[in-house]
Structure 1
Amino acid sequence: MQSLVLILSKFRYFAPAWVFTSLNILIATWVLYIPTIKNKLVLDDGQVGIALFCIAAGTLSMVPFSSIIIKRLGLGKTTFAGIVVFSLVFLFPFVASSYVLLCLALYVVGLFACLTDVAMNALVSEIETNDEVHFMSAAHGFFSLGGVIGAGIGTLIITYFKIPLHHILAASILVIITNVLLLKNYINIKGKQVTREKNKFNIKLLRPLLGLTIIAFLIMGGEGAVEHWSKLYLLDIVKVSTDKIAGYGFVAFSVTMTIGRFFGDAISSRFGARKLIIASCLIAIIGLIGVLLADFTIALIGFAFVGLGFSVVIPELFRLAGKSKEVSPAEGISFVAGFGYVGFLISPAFLGWLSKQYDLSISFTAILIGVAIAMTIMLFFNKKL
């Protein structure tokens, strides 16, 4: 909670945290209109899945270029440029007149989602190092807050927007104006430069981050799966009576994830990132076991444990990636974050296919196995972290 107080007490820390919030305000607003765009273009679920995968393709495409852009522009300028351009390109999916144009628009969205995400995480990592403070986890808590603002408030005001484009345009204007007002607090931060022989980058330099990348892929894959399948799991496997009650699983997951992120920095500074990630994976495993017991009350508690367990893993992975000695924070975070977000976007489709072959309990068992693998990697292969 100290990191939350830190963010709220100084604009130097609040400004980059607000970029996290801004990113998810736009994403959550887009999610509200996926069914509308699906009906507008007369798409089936498979086509929607492919369109959403285009975001992952864009994200992956930007991974090798994000650190180059950051090196040339600096962390502060790239962060600001990223969120502004992201705000503008997110208008394109709302005006796409065909399926092909929708896919192209979402691909471009993925490009700038990755660039913004890498830049803002590297920016926080740089400020943490320079000021000797911890607020990476709380900054990710602000990302969760953005989802609450975008989806929660967006749901309340959606009836006032007869045209979806007007809603996303209003959200984009809000994001751009607020970030312009906060810009001066981080615009001149350039970031750490890594000096290498002949100034050449070699992919082998990222080898120490491979374990972190696999963990990010598995944990963010689990996050994406819970977000998409928790409601159906409670309906089909636990046999809850109504859609409203079935939604409580994801609510429990989201609430504990947000709370956990606001407390994660203090725990990390005391016990270290490695121990915190191992403990968090163990908490998530306990939660998933509860979910698989298929009793509503226990499953609900289980989803809460999963959210708490997942809450700090990704912020801590980014913190570790940003401190790598062989590469710059931008290079390390882009590598870990890029593949992590690919996991987040493709896991729902894979687990959906798995559930068709068997059932959703098998899909959630796969999530449990993935978390166990992540914990094992951190336990045995990253002892120096």
Structure 2
Amino acid sequence: MKSLQLIFSNPRYFAPAWVFASLNIWFGTWAVYIPSVKENLGINKADLGIAIFCLSLGVFTIFPLASTIINKLGVGRATWYGVVLSSVAALFPLFVPNYYLLMGALFVFGASNGLTDISMNTLVTEIEKEDKQNFMSAAHGFFSLGGVIAGLGSFLIPLFNNPPLHMLLTVILVFVVNLYFKRHYYHIKSAPIEKEPFSLKLFKPLLLLGLVGFVAMGSEGAIVDWSGLYLKEITLAPEALIGAGFLAFSTAMTVGRFLGDGISSRIGSVNIVALGSVIAIVGYGTVLSGHTLLAIVGFALNGLGFSVIVPELFRIGGNVKGVESAQGVAFIAGTGYSGFLIGPVILGFLAEEASLRHSFYALLGCVIFVLAITFFLRKKK
């Protein structure tokens, strides 16, 4: 909890942590109103899926450009510009009058979120380097907290009965807090490094980190999308407990991220990735027991295990020798986000061809693979 105390006691650390929370508050508030948007525009599920794909396309479009933008502007300024762009872009999807403008709005929203995401992770990496303090995991905890805040905001839906107004007020409140704290990071620039020419020696550790990110975030996406169905179809859980797996996963992930920095400072980044993998392996073993309560406990263990892996990947990726921190973070973000989007789709096909239980066996195998990768990462440290 030391990193959490650090964030709340010093605006230098709270400022970037609030950017993490802001990103998920904007996105979560939009997500709450997806059914309303579908109904208001008179589109079907397939059309909605294409529109949401445009959001992902926006994210992927900005990833190759992000490191150049960050290095040109400075990481602090890039983070602030990302906040401004995301604030404005968050309004568009709920204000557009037709489907085609919705696709364009979601593309812009995704691109601005992608820039903010890479900038804020690079910013935390640079502050950690300067101050010799670890708070990356806690900052990701604030991202999870932002989702909780957005979820609580859904209780205001009957009060507002006006999605654009709800989003406008949310954007204004979140933006004002960012505006107040921006002075604590706006001036920060990435520390100059001695760049090395491209070689397999440099690419290999990044590739290994990317594989871990793909699997870890792919597993997160799979649990978000498939945990309820798993409890319903495999463990035959009662209706009241179908959402309990996701709740347990999300709660454990938030708590784990607030605790992760302290553990990382004691045992090191690669070791905590290995520890998280072991916990996730135990979690999948428990999920595969087929008993409802044990499966819910297993999802909680998965959340605890994965909670520390992704923040550490950003920390490691931002400190690879001979690679600019923004480039390392962008590579991890790109591969990880690919897993988050593609993983659930692959598992859906596997569930259709075999069974949902087989999909979770595949996830178990992937995490065992991650554990094996950590042995190579120790050599490349």
Superposed pair shares fold, TM > 0.5: yes
Counterpart residue number, 2:302:
306
Equivalence for 1:150: 150
**Contact 2:194–2:322, Cα closer than 8 Å, also in 1:** no
Distance 1:273 1:195 in 2: 23
Q: 1:76 corresponds to which residue?
A: 76
TM-score (norm 2): 0.95
Asked if 2 retains the 8 angstrom alpha-carbon contact of 1:216 and 1:314, the reply is yes
Partner of 2:62: 62
Residue number in structure 1 paired with 2:243 = 247
Q: Alignment RMSD, CA only? A: 1.7
Q: 1:97 to 1:351 in 2, by over 3 A?
A: farther
Q: Does 1:227 align with 2:229?
A: no
Question: In structure 2, how many angstroms separate the alpha carbons of the residues matched to 1:99 and 1:359?
Answer: 35
Instruction: Decide whether the 8 Å contact of 2:273 with 2:308 is kept in 1.
Output: yes
Quote the Cα distance in structure 1 between the aligned partners of 2:315 and 2:98.
41
1:257 aligns with 2:269: no
Matches of 2:194 and 2:55, distance apart in 1: 33
Query: What amino acid maps onto 2:192 in structure 1?
Result: Q
Shift of residue 160, structure 1, vs aligned partner: 1.7
SS state at 1:326 partner:
coil
Alignment of structure 1 residues 1-385 onto 2, 5 Å: 1-152=1-152, 154-196=153-195, 202=198, 205-242=202-239, 244-385=240-381
Please tell me whether the aligned partners of residues 355 and 362 of structure 1 are also in contact (alpha carbons under 8 angstroms): yes
What CA deviation, in whole Å up to 9, does each residue of 1:258-311 have, x standing for no partner?
A: 111111111111111111101111110110111111201100110110000000
**Residues 42/69 of structure 1: CA separation in 2 closer, same or farther (3 Å cut):** same
CA shift in 2, pair 1:35/1:369, >3 Å = farther
User: 1:99: Cα distance to partner?
Assistant: 3.2
How many residues are treated as equivalent by the alignment?
A: 380
TM-score w.r.t. the length of structure 1 is 0.94
Please state how far the C-alpha of 1:355 moved relative to its aligned partner: 2.3
The alpha-carbon deviation at position 138 of structure 1 amounts to 0.5
Distance 1:189 1:160, change over 3 A: same
CA contact (8 A) 2:51 2:102 kept: yes
Write out per-residue CA displacement over residues 131-190 of structure 1, whole angstroms, 9 at most, x where no aligned residue: 0111100111111110110112x1211112222111111111112111000011111001
CA–CA separation in structure 2 for the residues paired with 1:293 and 1:156: 35
Which amino acid letter does the alignment assign opposite residue 76 of structure 1? G
List alignment gaps of at least 5 residues for structure 1: none
Tell me the SS of whatever aligns to 1:383. helix
8 Å CA contact retained: 1:59, 1:342: no
CA positional deviation for 1:107: 1.9
Aligned-partner Cα distance in 1 for 2:365–2:49: 24
Deviation string, structure 1 residues 65-111 (Cα, Å, up to 9, x no partner): 11111111111111111012112112222233333332222222221
Letter of the 1:129 counterpart: K
- Specify the SS of the correspondent of 1:125: helix
* Partner amino acid, structure 2, of 1:316: E
Contact 2:137 2:312 survives alignment (8 Å)? yes
Aligned residue for 1:312, secondary structure, equals helix
